[in-house]
Amino acid sequence: MAGNKTVVLVSRPAGMVSEDIFAVADLDVPTVEDGQILVRNQYASLDPGIRKTLAETNTYWVPTPLGAPLTANVVGEVIESRHPGFQSGDLVVGTGQLQEISAFAPGPMCWKIDPASELPLSASLGILGATGLTAYFGLIEVGQPKVGETVLVSGAAGAVGSAVGQIAKIKGCRVVGIAGGPVKTKRLVEEFGFDAAIDYRGKTREQLEAEIRLHCPNGVDVFFDNVGGIQLDAALANMNWKGRMAICGLISEYNLDGPPAPMQNLFSIVGKTLRVEGFLSFVYADLFPQALREMEQWIKEGRLVWREHVEDGIESAPGVFVMGAFSCSANVLPVSTSW
């Protein structure tokens, strides 16, 4: 019968992702298993984390089999439910597939959206979804910033990073962001209210260390890392005694075909008694409702802004994902997310 456009994985990437490892296929509408819901997706989010599902093996994400639909966070309307907590007509966000209609079991990252909300549905894939919650819990629960402390953010112009910086400002911190190129660094200061921005492009580890030192004259208390590599290494050299490093992702390594650069400053972990902690937002699922209310309030007060990049039609997903992986930002499809 078909009628369900889907982006499938054709081959596994070696190094950078290129469009030709994906294909758009016309699949059947999936059968709904017990405990699942069937959702007509309005938006799908092209988060950089999808990159981790493309490899044959990895430490955490379930690998996508060749020929299978890509995993993606989606938002849409329930059209059939075999789960007691959901019924047809509910608006939901959850981890489904990059296709027009997908079936999935609601997990900790799945919840209903109030149809009366004034915010666009796509916000649940960005600032009021996985990316916003990752920023919120990574910064607040792992980083534990205190008023007057300095927070450094890598991947700062991305969906997560830009939210981290704004929340850190709301919490009374000095906030410095690292991003690639003058457009993004300008945006950090002018649009997202960072105190200073550092362009990592073309810089060695030593140069990054010096530039962080320049913009963080009192040292770094909290580093929120999306990138890893020499940015993490340069941050290590600038951490304060008892600093916290919230490790959200290591984008710089995802597309590497060879080994990453050696880490030169790991001894700071001992010498400055640092806490380096990885996290995944779903472990805080019990606290989501409260965090979403708080962030929605900040949005209404104009203290928390976000960007979306939305394109029409599922066919554009491979191209947008490749662009996103390239620029270390998140995008969406048939539609959107913040970046």
Residues that bind its own copies (CB under 8 A): 52, 58-61, 228, 237, 247-250, 253, 259-280, 283
Q: Between 8 and 212, name the residue whose CB sits nearer to its own copies.
A: 212
Q: Between 31 and 57, name the residue whose CB sits nearer to its own copies.
A: 57
Q: What are phi and psi of 209, to 5 degrees?
A: -55, -45
| DSSP state letters, 236-250 | HHHEEEEEEEEE---
Distance between CA atoms of 24 and 46, rounded to whole angstroms? 15
C-alpha distance from residue 163 to each of 177, 190, 203, 280 (Å):
11, 14, 25, 16
CB 222 within 8 A of CB 139: yes
Q: What are phi and psi of 40, to 5 degrees?
A: -85, 105
CB 83 within 8 A of CB 95: no
Q: Between 25 and 266, name the residue whose CB sits nearer to its own copies.
A: 266
Q: Report the nearest approach of its own copies to the CB of residue 22 (Å).
A: 23
- The answer to whether the Cα torsion of 109, 112, 114, 115 is positive or negative is positive
Q: Report the nearest approach of its own copies to the CB of residue 332 (Å).
A: 22
Q: Between 10 and 16, name the residue whose CB sits nearer to its own copies.
A: 16
Q: Report the nearest approach of its own copies to the CB of residue 180 (Å).
A: 21
**Which of 159, 149, 203, 164 is closest to 184 using CA atoms?**
159
Q: Between 120 and 260, name the residue whose CB sits nearer to its own copies.
A: 260
Q: Report the nearest approach of its own copies to the CB of residue 262 (Å).
A: 4
Q: Report the nearest approach of its own copies to the CB of residue 218 (Å).
A: 17
Q: Report the nearest approach of its own copies to the CB of residue 267 (Å).
A: 5
Q: Report the nearest approach of its own copies to the CB of residue 51 (Å).
A: 11
For residue 89, how far is the Cα from the chain centroid?
Answer: 28
Q: Report the nearest approach of its own copies to the CB of residue 268 (Å).
A: 5
Distance between CA atoms of 106 and 97, rounded to whole angstroms? 13
The token pair that represents 120 in the structure block: 């666009």
Q: Between 109 and 263, name the residue whose CB sits nearer to its own copies.
A: 263
Distance between CA atoms of 178 and 200, rounded to whole angstroms? 6
| DSSP state letters, 31-50 | PPPTT-EEEEEEEEEE-GGG
Q: Between 119 and 282, name the residue whose CB sits nearer to its own copies.
A: 282
Q: Which residues pair with 104 in a beta bridge?
A: 37
Q: Look at phi and psi of residue 263 and say left if phi exceeds 0, alpha if psi is from -120 to 50, else beta.
A: beta
Q: Between 15 and 85, name the residue whose CB sits nearer to its own copies.
A: 15
